[in-house]
Amino acid sequence: MNFTFQRNPERLLDLCGMPSIRDRRQEKLFMEKAAALDAQDLRPLVLVIGGFLDQVLGNSYAVSARYPADLRARHDVWFREHYESRKMRDIVNLYASKGHSVALVGHSWGGDAAVNLVARKLDAPIDLLISLDPVSRKGAPRRKIPNVRHWLNIHIDYSQSTWLDIPNLVARIGGPWEAAKNADVNVSCPPDMTHAWAWGMFERYGEKVLRERAEGWK
């Protein structure tokens, strides 16, 4: 857990009178204050979920940090690590309970967490799920996830991608899903893209879909 990352929306931190979060205790207090906000204080949720060692490498965090400014002005962008499953579900339930749309964007182990630890564990509707080269030995779900309205799975084709790349090697060991049978859309990245390039996958393939889907968000 890296509190030098902007894990929570700055706008909400200001509303809650907490301009910065330095530790878990402060973040817990912020969450209590955020839960007490009125529905009109919140915007559609975009929850970005980090993968293996993301608190150090920042590969997935780049999606949150570089989220387009015009979309950030309309959405609440949060970041959490793949192992923070309960906290992620709490955030999703907070927004869903107040009538707001929910999007999940997860990379690597964070893609697995978005699917198996958040979406499949909740009844709350997930308007958009974007998995960026998800990895886990558990693998993709064998059935459609009923509360997910649209699942875009962007993945590396490991039969084409280089072996001479450490993140690719780590992903191969971890169990890359590649195409997910029950995703609504699967996109295979070109060979020059590697596992670590979460921002590139989102920018090239995910952002367009998010913009289209977000037109009807509330």
Task: Kindly report, residue by residue over 33-64, the tens digit of the pLDDT.
Answer: 999 999 999 999 999 999 987 777 788 999 99
**Which pLDDT belongs to residue 55?**
75
Residues 76-130: pLDDT tens digits? Answer: 999 999 999 999 999 999 999 999 999 999 999 999 999 999 999 999 999 999 9
pLDDT for residue 37:
97
How confident is residue 73, by pLDDT bands cut at 50, 70 and 90?
Answer: very high
Residue listed under structure tokens 């962007």? 154
Provide the token pair at 153.
Answer: 């799975």
Predicted TM-score (pTM) of this structure: 0.95
Residue 175 contacts residue 137 (beta carbons within 8 Å): yes
Mean pLDDT to the nearest integer, 169-185 = 95
Residue 58 falls in which region: left (phi positive, over 0), alpha (psi -120 to 50) or beta = left
Arithmetic mean of pLDDT over the chain: 94
Residues of the chain with pLDDT > 70: what percent?
98
Q: Rounded mean pLDDT of 123-148?
A: 96
Question: For position 218, what pLDDT does the model report?
Answer: 87
Amino acid at residue number 214: A
Q: Please state the rounded mean pLDDT for residues 66-85.
A: 97
- As given in the structure block, the two tokens for residue 111 are 């893609």
Report domain extents, the chain. 45-214
Neighbours of 161 (CB within 10 A): 22
CB-neighbour burial class of residue 147 (10 A; exposed 0-12, middle 13-18, buried 19+): middle
Return the pLDDT at 159. 93
* 3-state SS record for 104-165: EEEECHHHHHHHHHHHHHCCCCECEEEEECCECCCCCCCCCCCCECCEEEEEECCCCCCCCC
- Residue 48 carries which side chain, given as an amino acid letter? V
Given a contact cutoff of 8 angstroms between Cβ atoms, the answer to whether 51 and 60 are in contact is yes
Q: Which CATH topology does 45-214 take?
A: Rossmann fold (3.40.50)
CB atoms within 10 A of CB 168: 20
Which residue has 């289209």 as its token pair? Answer: 212
Q: Residue 168 pLDDT more than 80?
A: yes
Q: Work out the widest C-alpha separation in the chain, in whole angstroms.
A: 51
20 or 124, greater pLDDT: 124
